[in-house]
Structure 1
Amino acid sequence: MLQITKQRTTTPKAKPDEGNLGFGVHYTDHMLIIDHDEEKGWHDARIVPYQPLELDPAAMVFHYAMESFEGLKAYRTPDGSIQLFRPDKNAQRMINTNHRMCLPSLPVEDFVQAVKAIVEFDQDWVPHAEGTSLYIRPFVIATEPHLGVRTSRTHKFIIVCSPVGAYYSTGINPVKIFVEDEYTRACPGGTGFTKCGGNYAASLISQVKAHELGYEQTLWLDGVEHKYVEEVGSMNCFFKIDGTVYTAPTVGTVLPGVTRMSCIELLKKWGIPVSEERLPIADVMKASHDGKLEEVFGTGTAAVISPVGELRYEGDVAHINNGEIGEITHKLYNTLTGIQWGKLPDDMGWTVKI
């Protein structure tokens, strides 16, 4: 059990307009910090006013990307209470990430306690408007000032929170996806399964290319053969072909998304076949031309479900479901958001009350 000291700000910010929150634009009044070093372990857990960090210019996070992060949300339910969605899964994923990144990890129960503590302290920042939520960003950074390449002896675990608007301001509409056939996001044995900033930095060049071609997102292929579908931008990806839903296996190069996991559990509960075998992009395009590619969608914390209406691969274009959201895609979106915002009963045991 963490012993968390709490310091209330003397200069609270004005709350932003809930109808124009955007994503990651506004930040709450407070942040949570826990220090770590080799001698004491995790210590000095505290909630303090939101403020800039003071770090040595030689802090190892700046030079060797020694960091990790998570992303989850707090939701305002119809009765005014607040709940989280599967925070223990984010905690476990951060442990897995930090093991690969040679960073220390909080135990699952301490991670969840820290998240609950900062959300409760800044509960007035959890918005009430339809489709809005409080985005929670826990992260770990290596703080030791040292320019030699080795593990750091000191670290900080920090949580900042941001009220965010509905991801789809104009409703949930299918997006257009460009299939990347030049650059590589992740290779076996690398950090593709982790949630670390370097993965996202490496993906930006393809995002820029996709936008220049008129596409919103990039679908990455495997880094060895450039043959098998992996994930889309910052989301996992699903393909419904001839009644079966396919998604890439999380075997080292694909992020094990919490929303991905939840979708698979719901699909199996509904009796819909799910395959986590590797799926060649050629099979996806052939299924499209044969009229068997029924639905494509991405999953992630920010958008929950993002339907895909078009795929472009090497000049070949697949149009999916006449550019409309598919039946299973829509059912998953309505079920997950219904559980998250407390509008549907949580018979899966996924939500945690604040």
Structure 2
Amino acid sequence: MTGQSSRIPQPRANIGAIPAYVPGKPPVAREGLTTYKLSSNENPYPPLPGVVEAVSEVVSRMNRYPDMGNVDLFAALATRLDVPVEDLTLATGSVGLIYQVLQAFCDPADEVVHAWRSFEAYPIAVTAAAATSVRVPVTATGEHDLEAMLAAITERTKVVMVCTPNNPTGPAVSHSALVAFLDRVPSHVLVVVDEAYVEFVRMDDAVDGIALYRTYPNVVLTRTFSKAYGLANFRVGYAVAQEPTATALRAVSLPFGVSGVAQAAAIASLDAEAELLERVEELVAERARVVAGLSEVGWDVPDAQGNFVWFELGERTTAFAEAADAAGIVVRPFAGEGVRASIGEVEANDRLIAVAAAFDR
């Protein structure tokens, strides 16, 4: 165009460095074979009682904006957790909360320490915030190396992420170990305790996240309705932090970010706690059966405290994923590292054990 430069608008330099998020693949329909998706850690159960009815009532008002203050859901969470409403914030799942934390607390080039392999969204969100990921390898058994994470903290560290249970490897941090860790983390460094799978934890000395938040002003506890509550499609997560931190997170939250149907579904799910706990216990029992079955056919998987199991496979990762796909189940491969498989329907889990038994390592 005459009189104008041929240059075009350019995004920030860090945008091109953002890793792509790789979602779990859906299964491909097979004639004569029921296929199953074990690639996204989804809950295999239908909605809890009362959820569909609560959502349907809100759908009839879809021409109106949702409650931006999330008043009813905040009140329900405050009552359930015995925390002040002022100490809560919401977002579109745990991922949205992570973005809130980094946007509120990180300046460009600040460092964020986290385990690796851990939740895939961490380096994505860190890079999007123009901060720097400091990845600390997990141990040979898939656990957080808390000593190494402490050693990785520098004067540039603003945030530390602790994913417990760790996605995708499975082990959870103990409460005593996390307390010892927090006692040594500088008080100005924010520590995010990511408990997306907290409902599935069955171990001695399990983390008491609410107790940690009450004791340590630099702790943010994040949880989600996507996993145990089965609301993955509605995208609603919540964080608990002492009031100054929670206020900062709410300040950067997306206006009207959590939809009205998501708020209604979350409240109805909280009301159905008895049914929820029954389903969680069934999934935990099925997880134990899967782990035992894998052990019987020669696999030593890491301690599974979420709703998934982890196969350390290295260069054989793609081959295992292909074998699973051939059996009608889709798992989540992490190229060159391993495969995560969700605990799903009994038939799907049986096929997973059969694939593992037949696989040539």
Instruction: Please report the TM-score for the alignment, with normalisation by the length of structure 1.
Output: 0.25
The answer to which structure, 1 or 2, has the higher relative contact order (CA under 8 A, 6+ apart) is: 2
- Report the structure, 1 or 2, having the larger strand content: 1
Instruction: Please report the TM-score for the alignment, with normalisation by the length of structure 2.
Output: 0.24
